[in-house]
Structure 1
Amino acid sequence: MIEDTSKKHYMAWMTLAMLDFVTIIRFEDVFYPYQNQGLSVIFSWIFLLICYQLPYTMITTQLGLAYKDTEEGGLASWIRRGTGSDVLGYATSWMYWAQTVPYLVDVSNSIIVSISWMILGNNTLGKHMSPFMFGLLTFVIILIFILCESAYKNSLDLLSLIGGIAMFAMSVIFVILIIWALMHGGHIATKMEWSSFKPNFSVHYFSTTGLLIFAMSGAELAAPYVTRLKNPRKEFPKSMWMLFAMTVFMTLTETLGLAVLFDAKHIPHDFKMNGAFYAFQLLGEEANMGKSLMYMYAIVCLLNFMADLAALIDAASRVFASDTSEKYMPSWLRKKNKDGLPVNSYILTCSITLFLLLLSGTLPEINDIFNWLLNLNGIVSPYKTSVVFLAFLAFRYKHSTFGKDDFVFIRNQKGALAVGWWCFIFTFICATMGFLPQDVAFNTPQWDKQLWMNIITVIVLFGTGFLLPWLRKLELKRQKA
């Protein structure tokens, strides 16, 4: 029977851009680099947006359109088709899963922080809760969401939509209130001098750049939706350009807004954990609204983080249902329940999560736990993003000529390969530099401890993926015997 395409429901290209935007960059993602680099982060944002984010977005656009008819155009399928290797396709899928786990724990931590602000109305969570209890509650939240995901598949789709739109709205409100405050005699906390914008190219500076890449990574998440556009060749590039424009607007305007509220040279030590709440608390006081803006943000933040957690848990299970899983994963790990969900994959996710929480529980304060887990994303996420550029290089080495109708990022072959190699090398170096601890003093016991924690965690996250094919091989041998 021939499908009636005239009745097919298509997605608007602006909807796709918004969907990708709320998935990629969060309001508080701009706060983390501001604490690390101060106002000089403006230079970092501009450099990365032009020399990194723009080619990254266009590379994703070309790959998304080139592979739009194969396996929904995910990153793993890009690698498989580009290299012709199932092993690399599996490794990419595993890397994608592994890099979601620290983010999953980070989001769960943020849920607790949001609830604490809703209940306490201040930053005194550490006085009411021990680091052990903080880790235990984080694990309980993840476990509850996994059970909900297993029992009510896709039950949190509406929450994801509401949370994403509400968070974007709060970002716009933040910028509007900053402008309003300045128009009504508001004081600028940071001195706008050249010395404030000038970056200090130190080891610390480059070790913190991974968090900027983490904040703006994920354009490839839009690829599976290419086939839902009515005219992908025209509309998908529009979506990517809109995504890029929104990222530019949010990163630059929000950073300047932070410079208005917080002195870049005297940033609170718990800024990564509580900075967004401080910002709305200050704006509420400036607008004579008390703490109402802060409470509003806490509610929106909670909804958004809950939606993120549901999406991450769902995404974490997809690698175990991929077409390469049967070849490289033990059968017990791919076991599904009556609803088609890989239940043992959830158990593995819980196990790795528990490992991270037990490791982070050795740190002295909740703020240290929050910062370490957050900074861990600045390592594993860029490593995943570097695979996007490997997929692009593999594709361009295979295809040097294109038709007039193809979307091509840099038609000159040497130019395209040069940009692809630049993006890959830069991303890989930033990810590797991220191993160096950022929020503790160099050459102290805490610095050495966090360095080893970073190394051990990455080995466990990525190394487990190499262990599973070996277990599958042993399983097949036992079956033959």
Structure 2
Amino acid sequence: MDDQAKKIRWYNLALMAFVSVWGFGNVVNNFANQGLTVIVSWVLIIALYFVPYALMVGELGSTFKDSNGGVSSWIRETMGPTLAYFAGWTYWVVHVPYLAQKPQSVLIGIGWIFNQNGNLVNDMKPLTAQMIALAIFLGFLWIASRGVTSLKKIGTVAGISVFVMSMLYIVLMVTAPAIRGITPATTDITFKTIMPEFNFAYFTTLSMLVFAVGGCEKISPYVNSMNKPSKEFPKGMIVLAIMVAISALLGSVAMGMMFDANNIPKDLMMNGQYYAFQTLGEYYGVGNFFLVIYALSNVLAQVSALVFSIDAPLKILLGDADKNFIPDGLTKVNKHGAHINGYLMTAVLVGILIIVPALGIGDMNSLFKWLLKLNSVVMPLRYLWVFLAFVMVKKASDKFHSDYKFLKNDKLALGVGVWCFIFTAFACIMGMFPTGIETFTKEWWFQITLNVGTPFVLVGLGLILPQIAKGNKQA
């Protein structure tokens, strides 16, 4: 009975995955990107991409239950150590744009805490704001290098608070017309207004949707801790998909009720979460109470995510380093257990990505949106390794055994794995095209050059370390 009590049930898994995968920003950013048509987009992306993705992760976790559960270990088992290194490098390096944006988010949140508006960052010149963001990043990089864990614990509480308030927003906003007599800002919510036009402009927004629903490989280690994984894991993932769908759909409707879908504020991606809670407070007669609580929680959660994302991916890359690919110098740790030269490499790459865009992008709103879009292009690159590992498992299905199978028909499962790989790659490529600015202007060319160049440079840098490691061995 004790062993059974310790097993993770399907509802435990669904809740854990929901908290780790989903966030209010996903609703705000994609509504800002697509307006009401995002409602249909959510249905399609969840049914055709998210559900099979999550179930594939379950099968991979079960297949390689004795590994550490990471993507690089799956690639090592299916394709060898060289590609495993590149999978590990990709997992780490895609966090560089993520780390470059977190200080921006912290600065924006601080402005809302003290001013209750977005003017602090809106009124700054991009280079000034980015210099402050760089200082914030370097400060927390130093804190992370000292092994400080209290911020992570505070961030966990803050993250839960942000999540609870996000759910509260949806409930209070959807019921506001009935409870408070609020007239919705968008009244024309019909089949016609929610159906996207599947044109070039639409396809450039897909990467943001993929970015929103990705990352469920984090839960793969829990597959083998479940009670009857072959039955309960898919049940948990289906419940997760239903929860994400409800949150995404109701959240998008709530945003449409609060903001005119035909006249979306230009800075909704940057300030939309704060506008939402400020307006909600006005509806319910509590002033800026919701806003301040959300801003405080969000800043602490962003700070925690910044510290954790500096440290954790680096440990995955360097903690069990293969000396054929990782130079000895990068594995050096200080007395706090931090990979100090790895931190220095992180500081250089993130610093460049914080400062260089500010030299060619004219205002902070455009800069914030660009960096968010870049994240949606770069971060899903790590998902490609998940689908590649799954495809290789299906191609050698007689060699690999799993207690849980996504689909009993291996050829059909292989086809779904190929579909997810191609769709992810397509979304990343289309996401490279700038949106919201005039085509072929100087800024458009600057943004697309960065969008295309950054992924190639970041992933390409992974070719350098094995050469250095080889040189060290010959010396």
Which TM class, normalised by the smaller chain length? Answer: over 0.9
Checking the alignment, whether the CA contact within 8 Å between 1:40 and 1:199 is kept in structure 2 is yes
- Looking at structure 2, the residues matched to 465 and 60 of structure 1 have their Cα atoms a distance apart, in angstroms, of 25
Which residue of structure 2 lines up, in the alignment, with residue 333 of structure 1? 330
Equivalent in the alignment of 1:94: 89
Out of 74, 79, 85, the position equivalent to 2:75 is 79
The answer for the alignment partner of 1:198 in structure 2 is 195
Judged with a 3 Å threshold, the aligned counterparts in structure 2 of structure 1 residues 453 and 48 are, in CA distance, closer, same or farther, namely same
Q: Alpha-carbon deviations, 1:80-129, whole Å to 9, x = none?
A: 1122x101110000101111111122222111111100011112124553
Taking the aligned partners of 2:400 and 2:133, their CA distance within structure 1 comes to: 50
| 1:397-412 equivalence runs, <5 A | 397-399=395-397, 406-412=403-409
Equivalent-residue separation in structure 1 for 2:313 and 2:404 (angstroms) = 31
Q: Is the 8 A contact 2:93 2:458 kept in 1?
A: yes
2:428 to 423, 431, 434: 431
Residue 256 of structure 2 aligns with an amino acid whose one-letter code is A
User: Any idea what SS the aligned residue of 2:324 has?
Assistant: helix
Cα distance in 2 between the residues matched to 1:13 and 1:73: 19
Structure 1 position 266 matched with structure 2 position 263: yes
**Comparing 413-422 with 151-160, which one deviates more in the overlay?**
151-160
Per-residue CA deviation, residues 384-424 of structure 1 (Å, 9 max, x unaligned), is 11221111101111115988x82111111221111111111
22-31 vs 54-63, greater mean Cα deviation: 22-31
Which residue of structure 1 lines up, in the alignment, with residue 131 of structure 2?
Answer: 136
Alpha-carbon offset, residue 375 of structure 1: 0.3
How far does residue 301 in structure 1 lie from its aligned partner after superposition? 1.1
Q: Which residue of 1 aligns with 2:374?
A: 376
CA–CA separation in structure 1 for the residues paired with 2:472 and 2:399: 45
**Could you say what secondary structure the match of 2:290 adopts?**
helix
Q: How does 1:109-124 map to 2 (within 5 A)?
A: 109-124=104-119
| CA-to-aligned-CA distance 1:352-372 (integer Å, 9 cap, x gap) | 111101222111111121111
Say if 1:135 and 1:19 are closer, same or farther in 2 by CA, change over 3 A: farther
| AA aligned opposite 1:244 | A
Match of 2:145 among 145, 150, 163: 150
Give the partner amino acid of 1:151. Answer: R
Pick which of 335-344 and 348-357 moved more: 335-344
1:7 CA drift (Å): 12
| Counterpart position of 1:165 | 160
Picking from 181, 186, 191, the partner of 2:182 is 186
Equivalent position of 1:457 in the other structure: 454
Change (3 A) 1:457 1:427: same
Name the residue aligned to 1:310. 307
Structure 1 CA distance for aligned equivalents of residues 25 and 178 of structure 2: 24
Give the structure 2 partner of residue 444 of structure 1.
Answer: 441
Count residues with an aligned counterpart: 471
Q: Call closer, same or farther: CA 1:398–1:141 in 2, change over 3 Å.
A: same
What CA distance in whole angstroms lies between the structure 1 residues aligned with 2:3 and 2:169? 42
Instruction: Give 1:132 deviation, angstroms.
Output: 1.9
CA contact (8 A) 2:393 2:400 kept: no
Specify the alignment match of 2:38 in structure 1.
41
Deviation readout 1:9-37 (Å, 9 max, x if unpaired): 76665454434333322211211121221
Q: Secondary structure at the match of 1:328?
A: coil
RMSD, matched Cα: 2.2
Q: Distance in 2 between matches of 1:127 and 1:188?
A: 27
Distance apart, 1:197 and its partner CA: 1.0
Q: Describe the superposition over 1:174-213 as per-residue Cα deviations: whole angstroms up to 9, x where unpaired.
A: 1111133121322122211333112122212111100110
In structure 2, relative to structure 1, the CA distance for the partners of 1:232 and 1:340 (3 Å cut) is: farther
Cα distance between partner residues in 1 of 2:440 and 2:418: 34
**Superimposed CA distance per residue, residues 128-171 of structure 1 (whole angstroms, 9 cap, x where no aligned partner):** 53322211222222222222222134333422321221122012
Please state how far the C-alpha of 1:459 moved relative to its aligned partner: 2.3
Following the alignment from structure 2 to structure 1, what is the Cα–Cα distance between the partners of residues 228 and 409?
Answer: 26
1:208 aligned residue (202, 205, 210):
205
Change (3 A) 1:11 1:198: closer
Change (3 A) 1:447 1:228: same
Secondary structure of 1:354 counterpart:
helix
Q: Aligned partner of 1:294: which letter? A: L
- For 2:52, give the aligned amino acid: P
Structure 2 runs not aligned, ≥5 long: none
In structure 1, what is the equivalent of residue 391 of structure 2?
Answer: 393
**C-alpha displacement at 1:336, in angstroms?**
1.2
Aligned AA (1:186): I
Structure 1 unmatched runs, 5+: none
Aligned partner letter, 2:158: G
* Paired letter, 1:437: P
Aligned partners of 1:32 and 1:271 also within 8 Å: yes
CA contact 1:69–1:227 (8 Å) conserved in 2:
no
Report the CA distance between 1:41 and its aligned residue.
0.9
> What is the CA–CA distance in structure 2 between the aligned matches of 1:16 and 1:350, rounded to whole Å?
35
Amino acid corresponding to residue 115 of structure 1 in structure 2: I
